[in-house]
Amino acid sequence: MDYQQILNQIEDELYTQKSTGKIASYIPELAKIDPHKLGMHLYCINSGHYHFGCNDERFSIQSISKVFALTLAMSLLGDDLFKRVDVEPSGNPFNSLVQLEYEQGIPRNPFINAGALVISDILISQLDNPKKDFLNFIHQITDEPSITINTDVFKSEKEYSYRNAAVLNLMKAFGNIENDIDTVLDFYIYQCSIEMSCKELSKAFMIYANQGKKLIDNTQIISLQKTKRINAIMQTCGFYDEAGEFSFRVGLPGKSGVGGGIVAIHPHQYAVTIWSPKLNPKGNSELGMYALERLTTLTGLSIF
């Protein structure tokens, strides 16, 4: 299969797509990004790398970080983690508070903000130096020690984190947050403000496509069983109240972020990342969804 030719076709099609999407502006620093940025990187298990556009430029990974956080927390805590966070799709926006009230402070899944805040709380309790250890984990799976946060995005989100603070307060009232609220919020925002390129994200997500192992040297980063579970949660909950639509159109497990990135994986085949900052009303990259739908259609490689 000529993957580069397929990516070139997708790139051409993207330039002709009419976009109605809007860049995320509730974190003011994110609103400064050029909305026309576009990059894609496909990393195949057996047949190399293919890319176009600014696939090497780092952007704010935002909620894509929730997959790394879940991976670390699952390795540290095992199944006990799921006493504090469920694995059901929420059918609600990523920053919603409504279900938490009637579900007694137990978030629906680890990929909505509430769930990721519980995971952050768990990591703070488990790790000696949560920020450093979290970044080290990303360095380990990418072999890119220069990956770090964007301090302007970090400060900007901190200034406007009223909703996440509300979510944390509600969960603390239900007894599902152990640590100090400001400490948890600070660590959560730190994770979201990490910057990575499409190329680096595809490399990192290769562990989920490759049975929990780094492709480069076969180091087992997470067990096969945990890989299966993380992929299942990406499939059912990776796109919030658009998880069904993403499955329907693309047919891969994946995760989005309000920085405009989407990463998706095909077990045993590939990891792919697309970056296009304009978001649809559900908070997912509009052109990103289009590009991935075209990728699985043109290659015939989706999990369904």
- Residue 166 contacts residue 99 (beta carbons within 8 Å): no
Give min distance, CB of 202 to ligand DON, in A.
Answer: 18
- Residue 94 contacts residue 107 (beta carbons within 8 Å): no
Cα-to-chain-centroid distance, residue 224: 20
Nearest to 205 by CA among 262, 123, 276: 262
Say if residue 164 carries a ligand binding annotation.
yes
115 binds ligand DON (CB under 6 A): no
The interface region with ligand DON, picked from 45-53, 68-76, 197-205, 250-258 by CB under 6 A, is 250-258
Residues near ligand DON (CB under 6 A), total: 13
> Which amino acid, residue 241?
D
> Which amino acid, residue 142?
T
- Residue 64 contacts residue 85 (beta carbons within 8 Å): no
Most distant CA pair in the chain, distance = 55
Q: Which is nearer to ligand DON, 67 or 127 (CB)?
A: 67
The interface region with ligand DON, picked from 208-216, 225-233, 256-264, 286-294 by CB under 6 A, is 256-264
By CB under 6 A, what part of segment 154-173 binds ligand DON? 157, 164
290: which residues sit within 8 A by CB, 6+ positions away?
13, 14, 17
Give min distance, CB of 88 to ligand DON, in A.
Answer: 18
Residue from 113, 231, 269, 276 that binds ligand DON (CB under 6 A)? 113
192 binds ligand DON (CB under 6 A): yes
90 binds ligand DON (CB under 6 A): no
What 8-state DSSP symbol labels residue 284? S
Say if residue 190 carries a ligand binding annotation.
no
By CB under 6 A, what part of segment 35-64 binds ligand DON? 62-63
- Residue 107 contacts residue 66 (beta carbons within 8 Å): no
Residues in contact with ligand DON by CB under 6 A are 62-63, 94-95, 113, 157, 164, 192, 256-258, 283-284
- Would you list which residues are annotated within the binding site? 63, 113, 157, 164, 188, 240, 258
